[in-house]
Structure formats: C-alpha cells, structure tokens
Amino acid sequence: MSKVKVWDGFIRSFHWLLVAAIATLYFSAEEGMLELHFAAGYFTLALIITRLVWGLIGSKTAKLSALIHSPVAAIKSFTSNEHKAGHGAAGSYMVIAFFALLIVQLTSGLMTSDDILTDGPLVEHVSSDTVDFAGWLHHLNFDILLYAIVLHVLAIVIYRIKGKNLVKPMLTGSSDQVAVTEPVTKSPLIAFVIFAVCLVVLFTTWGAEPLSYLLG
C-alpha cells in the first residue's frame, strides 16, 4: 500500500508544540516562574484557538466533525484492526477530552491570582469568590490533564503492540496503513497565519508584560 497524506503541517505542528507548551507550563509552575508560565499559557491559548478554527475550515482529518462517533463505535475500535485516516473513534474521545481539559485550564488560568504580584487578565472582571474557585480548579484540572496524558501515552503503546503506529504519521504526515480515494488534507498556510495573528494579539495585550520581562 502506498503512503497517503493523513495529517497536514499545522496539525502535526500543533501536536508537538502543545507537548512542548504543556511541559513548559508544568516546569514553570513547579519552579514558580510565573512570567514564563503566563507566556506559555498565552502561547497555548493561541494554539487552541487556531486548532478550533482549523477544525471548522481545515483538512478533513482536522475537522471537529470528524471527532464525533457513537460510544458503540468507540468500543468496537478497541478490538478492530481497521486503519483509517485521522483519529479513530476511541482516539476521538481522547482528543475531545484534551480540548475540554485545556480550555478549562486556560480559562481558569486567566482568572487566577497568587495574591501577591501576579494576576490573570480576567481577575479584575470577576468576583473574589470566582478567583478563588478558578485557582482551585486550575490546580485540580492540571492534575487531571496529567492523568489524561498518561492514558494517552498508554493507548499509543497499546495500538503500537496491535500493529498501528500512531507516532510516525504525526511526525511525517503520511501513513501506508490507510487507503483513501481522495485527498484528506489541505495546505496549512491559513492555519499558520491565524496562529501568528493570535500570537501577536495575545502578546501585545495580555502577554506584553510577561514577555517583556522574559526578553528584558
């Protein structure tokens, strides 16, 4: 079977940049490097916004609609040896869970405060009770996110044992394990432009202070 393009350049970049961003968020939080933590958070927010937009206008395998599967299909995918372009039914549930966890993490982070020097940009717009709740949720949700990452890695290992390599296509963009009758990817140029615009907007507004500190 010949190789087929299954993941466009933005989806692959999004995946690996998100890995780096989450690692940076974890490290900066553990080390108390709040400026780096906020900068990494804004970078991650730009990634997520772009990914959601690309999920509406992008490649077929990037579409949010491609993530919708019934619970029955998800259960069957665990025992099936079928190879399809894009996320399988079970994998789609994991992607949706990651999106939800990341959105909660980013939103709560925008409303958190260390009660000393650093406030999220939305702190001044919400009540003190909301700030307290956001701080509690921010810490709890990150723990859940870490468990989800472990589960994700475990699933990749299991699929690899079953003969399906999920990592290589996310690196190269191509797979020789699927058969398609028409292209499922498109040029990622628009996605990268959207991402660049999001970065500029976020780092010239909310992220201006932490960025200037890091570059100063």
CA distance 117 to 149: 31
pTM of the model: 0.92
Question: How confident is residue 17, by pLDDT bands cut at 50, 70 and 90?
Answer: very high
Residue-wise pLDDT tens digits, 31-90: 999 999 999 999 999 999 999 999 999 999 999 998 888 888 777 766 666 666 677 777
The Cα angle at residue 32 between residues 105 and 30, in degrees rounded to 5: 65
The conformational region for residue 8 under phi > 0 = left, psi -120 to 50 = alpha, else beta, is beta
**Cβ 104 vs Cβ 137: under 8 Å:** yes
Exposure pattern of 26-42 as b/e (b: 16+ CB <10 Å)? bebbeeebbbbbbbbbb
